[in-house]
Structure 1
Amino acid sequence: MSENRPTRRDLMKPVQLLGFAFAAAAFGGIIALVSMGFFQDLSGDERLHVIVVSLVVAGISFIATLVIIALLMLAVDPAQVTKQVDRAVLLPDEDADGGAGRADGSDPSASDPRA
């Protein structure tokens, strides 16, 4: 019973990440156009101002999305890039009995000298 699960390398393809950032930028730009009344009766100078503002919003959205995605990718250990993904990436390892604990399986209260 082998399931084809994507590897982390498959999930971090640069073209897909750039596409996601472009989609976020397009969404931000369209929202700026609609909220500033681009599709209403405006003069030429007002339309130009709305377009410039929406392009600035789209650019900021694109750059912010790329920076956030890059920072989130730093949270993944490079040694685990080829492992199969079968749960959320940032969840801690679980013990065999289902409780959350340390990755080495030791009891956290046993090593605490204050306990």
Structure 2
Amino acid sequence: MSRSSRPSMRDVLKPLELLALAAGMGLFTGVIALMSTRDIVIALIGFGIAFIVALVLLAMFALSIAPTDEEKRDIAEQDGPSSPH
């Protein structure tokens, strides 16, 4: 595998960034629910729901961004001449 075909560190960490951001949003919601109700079950449910909703929304936003010229070239390179299309 050549150096140019390896994904950059930013590309590798992008999914982890999305997970961390969603976990942060879920944690915030869980802490607010815990402070207002003092019930750990409700706080965990709030954390879980907020985490899943935030993760889905962040993934949808990430998919809605148009690819750059470099990404388009990479996609075309990966398809290559061996593609039946």
TM-score range, shorter chain: 0.5 to 0.7
Amino acid at match of 2:52: I
Give the drift of 1:74: 1.7
Equivalent of 2:43 in 48, 54, 69: 54
What is the DSSP-based 3-state SS (H/G/I as helix, E as strand, rest coil) of the residue aligned with 1:34? helix
Offset, 1:81: 7.0
One-letter identity of the residue aligned with 1:26: L
1:70 to 54, 59, 67: 59
2-side partners of 1:28 and 1:65: how far apart?
11
1:81–1:55: structure 2 CA closer, same or farther, 3 Å change rule?
Answer: farther
Superposition map of 1:14-29 within 5 A: 14-29=15-30
Distance of aligned partners of 1:81 and 1:71 in 2 relative to their CA distance in 1, 3 Å threshold: farther
Identity %: 37
TM-superposed deviation, 1:15:
0.6
Question: 1:94: which partner in 2?
Answer: none
Give the secondary structure class of the aligned counterpart of 1:13. Answer: helix
Flag the 1:76–1:27 CA change in 2: closer, same or farther, 3 A: same
> RCO higher in 1 or 2 (8 Å CA, sep ≥ 6)?
1
Per-residue deviation, 1:56? 0.5
CA RMSD of aligned residues (A): 2.3
Q: Larger % of helix: which?
A: 2
| TM-score after normalising by structure 2 | 0.63
TM-score normalised according to structure 1 size:
0.48
Structure 1's unaligned 5+ residue stretches are 1-8, 39-49, 84-115
The equivalences for 1:1-115 within 5 A come to 10=10, 13-36=14-37, 38=38, 50-78=39-67, 80=68, 82=70
CA deviations over 1:20-58 (Å, ceiling 9, x no partner)? 01111110000000011x2xxxxxxxxxxx111110000
